[in-house]
Structure 1
Amino acid sequence: MRYSRCINFTLLAPSIWPLIEAFSNTEKKEGYERYLCKTSQNTGIIYEVFLNKKIASEKLDVLLGDKL
């Protein structure tokens, strides 16, 4: 069974959108997919899809802000 996580965020400085988009757009690997969606000038959603819940519990870098 696949597992997904949706992270909503607000930017205090909307001018950094280009930097975020450069590092965190769509990523697809074996057992992992990540999508970045800009919902307004200073808000967005990161949607992650994992092969299973175990992998999701081990991959916390985006959730913790270690990697965008």
Structure 2
Amino acid sequence: MAMVMWIGALLLGCGVVMSALSAVYRDQLSNSRADTEVGRTLEPRHGGMRFLGIGRNGPALLLIVVGAIILLFGALA
């Protein structure tokens, strides 16, 4: 039973890391040409909450959900 819990924890951890990496590496943070209105900034022009979208984080969310289910069933058994 302990091995099943480890597998669930590993899946959950991998899902969290995949989600974080997709947010970090989603787009280039700096622009080589400076905007005259805004000035130089590390923020992307069209930032927002798109990095939290299901399309980009689908596999990570699936790993998190499967890992959590395995951990839950392992704890209840």
Give the TM-score normalised by structure 1: 0.25
> Computing the radius of gyration over CA atoms, which structure comes out larger, 1 or 2?
2
Higher relative contact order (CA 8 A, sep 6+): 2
Structure whose residues are more often strand by fraction: 1
Give the TM-score normalised by structure 2: 0.24
